[in-house]
Amino acid sequence: MQATKNYNQCFLNICFAYTSRHEISNAVREMAWGVEQGLLDPSDVSESLLDKCLYTCHSPNPDILIRTSGEVRLSDFLLWQTSHSCIVFQPVLWPEYMFWNLCEAILQFQMNQTMLQGRGQTAIKVRALSRN
């Protein structure tokens, strides 16, 4: 942890016992509490503020989300954060996930990079990473 504490080039978020519905509901409750306490005006409530109230507020939105198991759905997982992410569905189960599965996911991401570049912050990160 000490060796990587200042590292900010890539992030890996692993979420256990997590649902987006709970996360978003919690963020809305926090904003409502702020309004109730007089810390916020109702006009302060915005997408940007909600984004800052999410569990992942200290991490950038993911460029890629990999869904294993062959399921073609998000399962209430990072719904807000992945609105502009490349989502890769793979039939392999997580315990059998191998390096080559990751390579396939990265290839799919690269094939969709042009489309993603037109979409906000993700595009900036993709261009910055491609220069390194």
Tell me, what DSSP letter sits at residue 56?
Answer: T
CA angle 67, 70, 76 (to 5 degrees): 45
**Res 100: pLDDT:** 96
**Measured between alpha carbons, how far is 110 from 105 in angstroms, rounded to an integer?**
9
Residues 38 and 69 in one domain: no
pTM assigned to the model: 0.69
106, 58, 59: which is closest to 86 by C-alpha? 106
Domain limits for position 116: 61-132
Residues 109 and 54 in one domain: no
Residues 117 and 76 in one domain: yes
Spell out the per-residue pLDDT of the chain, length 132, in tens.
Answer: 788 888 877 777 676 778 999 999 999 999 999 999 999 999 999 999 999 999 989 888 888 889 999 989 888 888 999 988 899 999 999 889 999 999 999 999 998 877 666 654 444 444 444 433
Per the structure, the count of domains in the chain is 2
**Res 1: pLDDT:** 79
CA angle 114, 117, 120 (to 5 degrees): 160
The contacts of residue 54 (CB under 8 Å, 6+ apart) are: 23, 24, 27, 80, 81
- Cβ of 110: how many Cβ atoms within 10 Å? 14
**Res 123: pLDDT:** 42
**Measured between alpha carbons, how far is 123 from 60 in angstroms, rounded to an integer?**
12
Residues 45 and 110 in one domain: no
Residues 76 and 126 in one domain: yes
117, 50, 111, 113: which is closest to 81 by C-alpha? 50
